[in-house]
């Protein structure tokens, strides 16, 4: 069977590998149909992900059809459309015992630590497989995983109805955060230097858009919130200056969620954190967000098809990744049909 493999940093190709077989009664064999290209896939390609080993079959935003099930599997059946939860945990460390397996000491992600879903056939355990409505198309199903990342950030920020939320960065994950925050009943502002992204964000329900190149961001957010500041800020960029900005534009008793990340330190004034009694937290992967997001998608009222801007066949994988190397403004989410 064919698979998308990064053999070493800088070297990506479609290769032939052996097709996996069921080895246990709790396993599910899936014919993969679609894979979204994520920023973390690009990091693996560039040798910038410290957790990845090579060679590695990448892909964790994936959708497929069940073709075989083990004897003890009951939640899915042959022919079901499914999305895969691409994360495993040990169940015994401190984080797992606290109900936070996403930060398990031994967490492993498919496509990073383990062979991913960018291949024609995949075998995983039943607990990682979520059935979806048969009316959803493959590209939609592949978007469920990135939406769980957005849902985790909204969950970590404790976004409530009526909250004023500011999202820094209108890339695919920032847009996922926007959609989920709106679903929670919040009013949402979002910033980006890319005007096309801001136009798209407005179409997706953003109440206010900010281009940092066109004026002072803090002044605009303070004006939008009528002097209060943002109740929740989600930094989906993660540069040192965006972390500083996230804290600077908050209201009192606000929550700051750091979703993007960077190795360079930020310069943060402690007085704002104490004076406003801010809650600052990280957001990594997801915890129990798959059932929530699957329900949203299955409702058929959660229209997100237009997040996909480009679709490539498996044979044009290298072309798809080259597009992602220096994406034009029109690129949002790129899907590879497996």
Both tokens of residue 201? Answer: 């964000």
Residues 129 and 153 both lie in one domain: no
| Residue pLDDT tens, the chain, 338 long | 999 999 999 999 999 999 999 999 999 999 999 999 999 999 999 999 888 999 999 999 999 999 999 999 999 999 999 999 999 999 999 999 999 999 999 999 999 999 999 999 999 999 999 999 999 999 999 999 999 999 999 999 999 999 999 999 999 999 999 999 999 999 999 999 999 999 999 999 999 999 999 999 999 999 999 999 999 999 999 999 999 999 999 999 999 999 988 889 999 989 999 999 999 999 999 999 999 999 999 999 888 999 999 999 999 999 999 999 888 788 999 999 99
d(CA 173, CA 239): 15
Please enumerate in sequence order all residues whose Cβ is within 8 A of that of 53, keeping only pairs 6 or more positions apart, or say none: 113
pLDDT of residue 327: 80
Give me the CATH number covering residue 213.
3.40.50.720
Identify whether 293 is part of a domain: no
Both tokens of residue 187? Answer: 């009013």
Residues 122 and 11 both lie in one domain: yes
Number of domains within the chain: 2
d(CA 119, CA 1): 7
Give me the CATH number covering residue 96.
3.90.180.10
Residues 257 and 186 both lie in one domain: yes
For residue 270, give its domain range.
149-282
């Amino acid at each position: 069977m064919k698979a998308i493999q990064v053999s070493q940093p800088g070297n990506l190709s479609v290769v032939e590998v052996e097709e996996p077989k069921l080895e246990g009664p709790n396993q599910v064999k899936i014919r993969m149909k679609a894979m979204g290209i994520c920023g973390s896939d690009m990091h693996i390609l560039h040798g910038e992900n410290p957790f990845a080993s090579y060679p590695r079959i990448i892909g964790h935003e994936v959708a497929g059809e069940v073709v075989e099930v083990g004897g003890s599997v009951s939640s899915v059946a042959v022919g079901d459309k499914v999305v895969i939860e691409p994360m495993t945990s040990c169940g015994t460390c401190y984080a797992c015992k606290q109900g936070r397996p996403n930060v398990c000491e031994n967490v492993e992600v498919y496509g990073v630590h383990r062979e991913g879903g960018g291949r024609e056939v995949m075998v995983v355990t039943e607990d990682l497989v979520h059935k979806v409505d048969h009316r959803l198309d493959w590209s939609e199903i592949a978007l469920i995983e990135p939406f769980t990342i957005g849902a985790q950030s909204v969950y970590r920020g404790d976004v409530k109805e009526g909250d004023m939320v500011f999202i820094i960065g209108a890339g695919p994950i920032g847009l996922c955060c926007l959609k989920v925050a709106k679903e929670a009943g919040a009013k949402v502002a979002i910033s980006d230097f890319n005007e096309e992204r801001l136009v798209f964000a407005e179409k997706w329900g953003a109440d206010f858009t900010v281009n940092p190149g066109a004026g002072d961001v803090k002044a605009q957010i303070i004006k939008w919130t009528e002097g209060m500041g943002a109740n929740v800020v989600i930094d989906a960029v993660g540069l040192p200056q965006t972390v500083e900005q996230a804290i600077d534009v908050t209201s009192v008793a606000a929550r700051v969620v750091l979703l993007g990340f960077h190795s360079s330190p930020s310069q943060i004034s402690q007085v704002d954190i104490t004076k406003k009694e801010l809650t600052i937290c990280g957001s990594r992967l997801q915890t129990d967000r798959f059932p929530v997001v699957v329900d949203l998608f299955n409702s058929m009222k959660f229209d997100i098809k237009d997040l996909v801007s480009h679709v490539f066949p498996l044979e044009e994988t290298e072309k798809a990744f080259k597009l992602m190397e220096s994406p034009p403004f029109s690129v949002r989410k790129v899907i590879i049909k497996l």
